[in-house]
Amino acid sequence: MNQSAVASDALAQAFVRFSLDCGVLKFGEFKTKAGRLSPYFFNAGLFDDGAKLGQLASFYAQRLVSSGIAFDMIFGPAYKGIPLGAAVAIELARLGRNVPFAYNRKEAKDHGEGGSLVGAPLQGRVLIVDDVMSAGTAARESIALIRAAGATPHAVAIALDRQEMATEPQPDGSVRDVAHSAVQFVREQLGLQVCAIASLSDLLDFLNTQDSAALGQHLPKVRAYRERYGV
């Protein structure tokens, strides 16, 4: 294993521990939007104070720097992507990589400067910053906004890659599992690079190395979930 891979693994493991300590990552039984019963839940909205958000931004920035992904500006999709994108832009500037930042409103403003976009003009290669990617829907919306502004959607940075099958809605209102994950769809079908701080594989590695029985007891359920829904 090369040195960058070792550093990358260490960053992912530190992020999993940080997410647990913040209560962002929880174990139990949680129903997902796809109707699956997941043994874990990741709620990035609980990075809810200055210290947590600052540390989260540091994880994003470190992962982006180590990824080697080139980009000209950051876009934060409403709503969770707005504080995330802003915080990451601040942290990158602190590290000496100052880039413009923009975000969108859910509803276009009809007074003042108007429009649905706020911040720097969208131009060049744009990095989209969000928390997780469930179906790729939010990414498609951001891509459309970026292209409409004449810029190039280039990459997506997320906190956690769940590495599980995406779903597609059916005419009868049900959903159907598909063979690819949302991240794979964005990479292979939409042509964007995807950079994740950590993945489900990293979570499994973390649980597998814990001496704590309280944490170790969750390993079989998370592993079984990966075997059933993983890609």
Question: Is residue 115 in a domain?
Answer: yes
Tell me how many domains the chain contains.
1
130 inside domain: yes
Is a pLDDT exceeding 60 seen at residue 8?
A: no
Instruction: Give the residue from 7, 44, 8 showing the smallest Cα distance to 25.
Output: 44
8 A C-beta contact, residue 160 and residue 199: yes
User: For a pLDDT cut of 70, what percent of the chain falls above it?
Assistant: 91
Rg (CA), the chain: 18
Model pLDDT, residue 1: 44
**Percent of the residues in the chain that have a pLDDT greater than 90, as a whole number:** 72
To the query of whether residue 111 is one of the catalytic residues in this protein, the response is: yes
- Per DSSP, 110 falls in state -
pLDDT tens-digit map of 187-212: 998 899 999 999 999 999 999 998 88
Q: CA-to-CA distance for 215 and 96, rounded, in angstroms?
A: 38
Contacts of 112 (CB under 8 A, 6+ apart): none
CA separation, residue 3 to residues 61, 68, 153, 231 (Å): 18, 15, 30, 27
Of the candidates 52, 197, 77, the residue with the CA atom closest to the CA atom of residue 127: 77
Give pTM, 2 decimals.
0.90
CB-side neighbour CA atoms (13 Å) of 231: 16
| 231 within some domain | no
In a domain, 127, yes or no: yes
Of the candidates 31, 52, 80, 111, the residue annotated as catalytic is: 111
CB within 8 Å of 52: residues ≥ 6 apart:
22, 46
Give the pairing of strands 73-76 and 125-129.
Answer: parallel
Q: Is residue 113 part of a domain?
A: yes
Helix (H, G, I), strand (E, B) or coil at 39: strand
- 154 labelled catalytic: no
Domain assignment present for 10: yes
The per-residue pLDDT for range 47-99, each reduced to its tens digit, is: 999 999 999 999 999 999 999 999 999 999 988 999 999 999 999 999 999 99
Burial level of 30, CB count in 10 A (0-12/13-18/19+)?
Answer: middle
68, 88 contact by CB (below 8 A):
no
Amino acid at residue number 45 = G
Candidates 135, 132, 136; CA nearest to 43 is 132
Phi, psi of 127 (to 5 degrees): -100, 125
Q: How far is CA 92 from CA 85, 185, 191, 228, in A?
A: 10, 27, 24, 38
What's the pLDDT at 161? Answer: 95
pLDDT over 70 (residue 166): yes
Is a pLDDT exceeding 50 seen at residue 3?
Answer: no
Instruction: Answer yes or no: is 134 within a domain.
Output: yes
Q: Which domain holds residue 174?
A: 3-225
Q: What is the CATH number of the domain that holds 153?
A: 3.40.50.2020
Q: With respect to residue 230, please indicate whether it lies within any of the assigned structural domains.
A: no
Q: From CA 134, how far away is CA 18, in angstroms rounded?
A: 22
Please answer whether residues 154 and 193 qualify as being in contact, where contact means their C-beta atoms are separated by less than 8 angstroms: yes
Residue 12 — pLDDT band, cuts 50, 70, 90? very high
Band the pLDDT of 33: cuts 50, 70, 90.
Answer: confident
pLDDT band at 115 (very low <50, low <70, confident <90, very high): low
Of these residues, 31, 33, 52, 109, which one is catalytic?
109
